[in-house]
Amino acid sequence: MSFLYSLIDTLLPFEWTEFDFMKNALLAILLITPLFGLVGTMIVNNRMSFFSDALGHSALTGIAIGVLMGIDNYFISMLGFALLFALCISAVMGSNASSADTVIGVFSSTGLALGIVLLSATGGFAKYSGYLIGDILTIQPEELILLAVLLCLTVVLWIFFFNKFLLASLNPDLAASKNIRVELLQRVFVVLIALIVTSCIKWVGILIINSLLVLPAASARNLSGSMRSYHVWSVAISLFSGVSGLILSYYLGTAAGGTIVLVAAAIFFASFVYGRVRRGHS
């Protein structure tokens, strides 16, 4: 870690890099934003933005379960509940009993309400309300390892299974005819989203994590002309939003997560206008 600190000091000799917590936050941003940029493309393609939002809401229930069970490491209870929550949503959606947005809406509101009720009943809601907005500045060096592992896992999955993921999402029947196990791929993808959301919720926040997953990919769709450029734009916009938002939050004295989202939102609106202008001239 000292090597990375020295490298940051050499490459970025600015006032904000004098603090170790800002260096840790920068390293976290460099790991989280490519992760969100990659996964966000598939979330947007599959119209699953509400799904990742529902998983974020379920984090409160996971924390509450951890409190009730006396689990000191809330990440374990959050992850366990998020995985169960994600698989349940996926199973109900697969039954075609109701529309996807209805199913996700029901699970999302239920998960959030249950978490609030359980935490308020134990008198500890205020203690855990920090999870709502997160704080990237509190991340510790050892926690960066988890983010690095998640990023590597996601990249490996994208390299070997992206084409299958894409085909299964665009045309499940065609994918099944090519002996692609569509339901298994869907389960793997929702588990991946659950892992990412749960792992990052402490630093990003329940209220804005979905925005960071969706906005860069949505902006990239307005700018890209191919699947390759779509991913490149999404990762680039996510990285730029993260780094610039972190730096702006330092000088403005604002919350890092919210500032990053505002930068990403500004890019989205600019890309939206550009996309309309480009289509108007074509």
Per-residue pLDDT tens for 159-172? 888 888 888 877 87
Q: How far apart are alpha carbons 212 and 36 in whole angstroms? A: 7
Q: How far apart are alpha carbons 245 and 259 in whole angstroms? A: 5
Provide the 8-state DSSP code for 140.
-
Provide the 8-state DSSP code for 137.
G
pLDDT, position 234: 94
Q: Which pTM was predicted?
A: 0.87
Tokens at 66, concatenated: 């951890």
Handedness of CA 74, 152, 6, 30 (dihedral sign): negative
Q: How far apart are alpha carbons 67 and 256 in whole angstroms? A: 28
Whose tokens are 């409190």? That residue is 67
Q: 256 pLDDT exceeds 80?
A: yes
Q: How far apart are alpha carbons 158 and 153 in whole angstroms? A: 9
Question: What are the C-alpha distances in Å from 198 to residues 60, 119, 173, 206?
Answer: 10, 18, 31, 9
pLDDT, position 164: 86
pLDDT, position 97: 58
DSSP for 74-114 reads: HHHHHHHHHHHHHHHHHHHHHTTSS-HHHHHHHHHHHHHHH
pLDDT, position 260: 93
Q: How far apart are alpha carbons 86 and 194 in whole angstroms? A: 7
**Under 8 Å between Cβ of 214 and 40:** yes
- What are the pLDDT digits (tens) for 42-53? 888 877 777 777
Instruction: List the Cα angle 28/55/163 in 5-degree steps.
Output: 75
Q: 232 pLDDT exceeds 90?
A: yes
Residue 282 — pLDDT band, cuts 50, 70, 90?
A: low
> In sequence order, which residues have a C-beta less than 8 Å from that of residue 105 and are 6 or more positions away?
50, 54
